[in-house]
Structure 1
Amino acid sequence: MTKQLFPKDILPDNINALAAYSSAKSQKLTGSTWLNANESPYSKTFELSLSDLNRYPDPQPQNVIDAYAQYAGLTAEQVLMTRGADEGIELLVRTYCKSGEDSIALFLPTYGMYKVTADSHNVAINALTQELLLEGSVEQIITAVGNSKLVFICNPNNPTGSLTTLNKISAIAKALENKALVVVDEAYIEFCPQQTATTLLQDFINIVILRTLSKAFALAGLRTGFMLTNPSVLAPIRKVIAPYPVSRVVAQIAEQALQSDAITQMRRQVTILNRAKAILLQWLEASPAVNQVLNGQGNFVTAQLKDKANIDKAMKSGLIMRPFTLYGQDNWLRISIGNEQELEQVKLWLETLGSEL
């Protein structure tokens, strides 16, 4: 009798051992207040035309590309539209790294999809630290990066909110010319737009910027991102990307979201969220139940609680935030900046914890 072949018997070792990324929505949680996925609290409405869905879409919808190029202050040739910034990460690894030979450099703790993507393509991880990135010299960083093909800098960094200065990014890029791509993930850049690395693209061929409409643009459900870089870097990626990565519906919504009045509305909402964040920081810093608070950029605040059990209390009450293990300790919590009513639930939770001490 022939032995039955199970999927695990034919899986590559790296996929068999892969630890999948655990997104905020991957856990089947129940709650009433959702502050765990860095989503915008603002919903939007759009006009759609569904009469031509029998036809394949434009692989790179020109109206959207032109609109985002204008928004970013770049040319259309420097812009590639992707299925969220996550596809941009995957395209870079798949295009520029040799499976089983190359590595990417990360500064931990940082966004988990860099590692998952590399692991799934059998690309090694050169695990460095945020401390090295923020406090180390450029020479120390370059030595540690070694022969890594891609160097990922999440800026602002998720989940710490820390910022790497543009001077340091440019110095790293210069030292790695003709050696590696420096990938600056700007998923949260709208919350500190003056820190964008787009101004560096005119001077460095080896800088790639990843963007998304999921955060400040309040379109997490659309799964739309952009890769910004030199056309020569994009050329091989255009050969690798799926033939029709952007649906007509997504293109229609993205085009409307990038109109001047919509961008003005987005910036107004960012101002409101940044003010709300400042208030949340005050609450956390004043709470006796909080050990320390990371005061960084982005639409979230990450704090360490004195008692991890208090996270479970919040979850059971319907207040859903994102627990993390950082720096070897499992009592960290990332809180997305929601609307006034949502953040009021955080305040009440903190007040309850304070009264129990």
Structure 2
Amino acid sequence: MKSLASKLAPKAVEKLIPYQSARRIGGSGHLWLNANELESSCQYGDESKGRNDVYNRYPDFLPHDIAVEYQAYCEQASGALGCETVAVRGADEAIDLLIRTFCQPGNDQIMVCPPTYGMYEFCADAFSVNTLAVPLLDNFQLDVAAIKAQLADTSLLFLCSPNNPTSNTIHHHDIVELLEASKASTLIVVDEAYIEFAPETSVLHLMVQYPHLIVIRTLSKAFGLASIRCGFLMADESVMSYVARLIAPYPIADPTAEIALKALAPEGLKSMRSQTDELITTREWFISELQALQIVDVVYASATNFVLIHFNTSNSIYDYLLTKGIVTRNQAHESMLEHCVRISIGSKNSMLETLNALQQYQ
């Protein structure tokens, strides 16, 4: 029986043979003369710190060690996953890979539920794939009936939970209902970039039951490693066998891999959990202080490392904060988020400065 992934993958992708890089082909020996590398390297390390890094060799064609460690980290929380994990250059590359793998330009479409992360539609537009938008309800939950009515014509449904920019999680039962309804038609992608701030809401455990479920993760948020560009794509083998055909020959640089492995080691995980707890404490304090301000209409409950605030002023709070040197995110371009500003949670001192600026607004 053909998998859903095999039905959706365009013929051009089905014919693809992964590029046979030197690392992919492999081999053993003591002279490595198969990749057109220099045997010696210019040294770029900081010798004063005892470092003399060497970068003349290509990295692992597929960063296997990172993927293994990340899957082990996930299995600690969710149990056996029944899926494969691949490291990618940030969650954005995972989005792009999925669209290029399972959508044919000018023929297929994806579905999104705005307001949500803009890269889903951007990646689709860049590949001449149509985007069907089914807006969230007033409570920022899914319009399940409207989504189900259009699943048959959709290759990929992207859901972000916790969602950016609304900061809420999607109801678990709604995701399950959509997984049931999409078994024969649509791959369901759940973007869990912010999941460490609400780990109990993860859908990873559903992957055993639903092989058409795909999960995207990242080290950019709770791990605090946005600059190294390391994310993860987690999917059933039937899905991954097609995605793997489009993965770049050397997707993760060695320095990135080394940092990622440290972050996923026991001490790294301990540090991540500690800073996550501290951020959540700061976030809840900041929310309580915001709710006392007359210019604030609503502070939406947050399951992320940011808060979404609806202000009752006629002037732009975003522009006002800029005059104070505080850069936030104006969400007024979203039809449902007029007069809304998204503020990331920083240190206690940063949030105090922001709060003081808002208190001084007249």
Task: Indicate the TM-score class for this superposition, using the shorter chain for normalisation.
Answer: 0.7 to 0.9
Question: What is the total number of aligned residue pairs between the two structures?
Answer: 308
Separation in 2, partners of 1:294, 1:257: 31
Match of 1:352 in 2: 360
Cα pair distance change 1:213/1:136, threshold 3 Å: closer
Structure 1 residue 138 displacement after superposition = 4.1
Question: CA contact under 8 A between 1:48 and 1:253: conserved in structure 2?
Answer: no
Q: Give the structure with the higher percent strand.
A: 1
**Code of the aligned partner of 1:126:** L
Structure 1 residue 204 displacement after superposition = 0.5
Separation in 2, partners of 1:311, 1:273: 22
Match of 1:79 in 2: 85
Question: CA contact under 8 A between 2:87 and 2:232: conserved in structure 1?
Answer: yes
**Code of the aligned partner of 1:183:** V
Match of 2:135 in 1: 129
Match of 2:41 in 1: none
Separation in 1, partners of 2:179, 2:276: 30
Match of 1:232 in 2: 238
Match of 2:166 in 1: 160
For normalisation by structure 1, the TM-score amounts to: 0.82
Cα pair distance change 1:223/1:60, threshold 3 Å: same
2:209 to 203, 210, 218: 203
Quick one: higher RCO (CA 8 Å, sep 6+), 1 or 2? 1
Per-residue CA deviation, residues 258-278 of structure 1 (Å, 9 max, x unaligned), is: 001110111111111111111
Question: CA contact under 8 A between 2:82 and 2:207: conserved in structure 1?
Answer: no
Match of 1:43 in 2: none
Cα pair distance change 1:278/1:48, threshold 3 Å: farther
Question: CA contact under 8 A between 2:134 and 2:146: conserved in structure 1?
Answer: no
Correspondence 1:62-211 to 2 at 5 A: 62-73=64-75, 78-131=84-137, 138-211=144-217
Cα pair distance change 1:57/1:247, threshold 3 Å: same
Aligned: 1:323 with 2:325: no
Match of 1:313 in 2: 320
Per-residue CA deviation, residues 232-256 of structure 1 (Å, 9 max, x unaligned), is: 1011110111111101111111111
Cα pair distance change 1:330/1:132, threshold 3 Å: closer
Cα pair distance change 1:196/1:121, threshold 3 Å: same
Question: CA contact under 8 A between 1:153 and 1:182: conserved in structure 2?
Answer: yes
Question: CA contact under 8 A between 1:191 and 1:274: conserved in structure 2?
Answer: yes
Separation in 2, partners of 1:175, 1:193: 25
2:61 to 59, 67, 83: 59
Whose radius of gyration is greater, 1 or 2?
2
Structure 1 residue 66 displacement after superposition = 1.2
Per-residue CA deviation, residues 65-117 of structure 1 (Å, 9 max, x unaligned), is: 11101001156961011000000000000000010011100001000000100
What SS class does the counterpart of residue 226 from structure 1 fall into? strand
Q: Which 5+ residue runs of structure 2 have no aligned equivalent? A: 1-48
Aligned: 1:251 with 2:253: no
Moved more, 115-124 or 321-330: 321-330
Percentage identity across aligned positions?
32
1:267 to 270, 273, 285: 273
Aligned: 1:341 with 2:349: yes
**Code of the aligned partner of 1:271:** D
